[in-house]
Amino acid sequence: MNVNVVEAAKEIIRVGTTAGLSKDVIDLLEKKLWLLTDEMSLLVKKNAELVAKASALETENSNLRAQIQNLQPVTGTFNEYGGVLWKRTASGFEKFPYCKECAHHPVMMGMPPNRRAMFWQCPSGHTAPFQDFPAK
Ligand SMILES: [Zn+2]
């Protein structure tokens, strides 16, 4: 049990005794104090169990996130989808894809420009159907 709690309980009994309370009252207070310290002891134990459980779940969650990350289809640093390559960002994927056909994977532009694109096109003329990476 928490030593400070036991010391506090003893101190309360001592104060009650020196304040001139009757033995009946002090006995009653003492019983109630021990009930409280017992309850507190259970709660401290329960709390320690919950902290340990939360820590284990955080570790498990972290491991599962790493596994999910590893399951993403990856070509080098790219994710292939819809016939083009996408680069991951902290919050999702970049706005424009990269050409899968060209060896140096240049950025593709939406064509025709300045409109909602109908297809992606790289500088060498490779094309792919226009679509965003899913879940955007
Ligand atoms: Zn290309």
Question: pLDDT tens digits, residue range 6-61?
Answer: 788 888 888 878 888 888 888 888 898 889 989 999 999 999 999 999 999 988 88
- Let me know whether 8 and 67 are in one domain: yes
Instruction: Tell me what pLDDT residue 76 has.
Output: 54
Of 26 and 71, more confident: 26
Q: For residue 127, report the distance from its CA to the centre of ligand 1, in Å.
A: 7
| Residue 23 vs residues 7, 28, 29, 114: alpha-carbon distances, Å | 20, 8, 10, 91
Q: Is the same domain home to 57 and 89? A: no
Asked if 67 and 81 sit in the same domain, the reply is no
CA 93 to ligand 1 center in whole angstroms:
19
Same domain, yes or no, for 94 and 55?
no
CA of 133 to the centre of ligand 1 (A): 18
Q: Please indicate, yes or no, whether residues 18 and 37 belong to a single structural domain of this protein.
A: yes
Is residue 90 domain-shared with residue 53, that is, in the same domain? no
CA of 86 to the centre of ligand 1 (A): 14
Domain closes at, from 39, 71, 103: 71
Among 17, 36, 71, the domain boundary falls at: 71
How many angstroms is it from 104 CA to the middle of ligand 1? 8
The range of the structural domain enclosing residue 50 comes to 3-71
Q: What separation in Å is there between the alpha carbon of 97 and the centre of ligand 1?
A: 11
Residues 52 and 83 grouped into a single domain: no
Number of domains the chain contains: 2
d(CA 17, CA 120): 87
Using DSSP's 3-state secondary structure scheme, residue 47 falls into helix
CA of residue 70 to ligand 1 center, whole Å: 27
pLDDT top residue among 89 and 134 = 89
Within this chain, do residues 82 and 58 fall inside the same structural domain, yes or no?
Answer: no
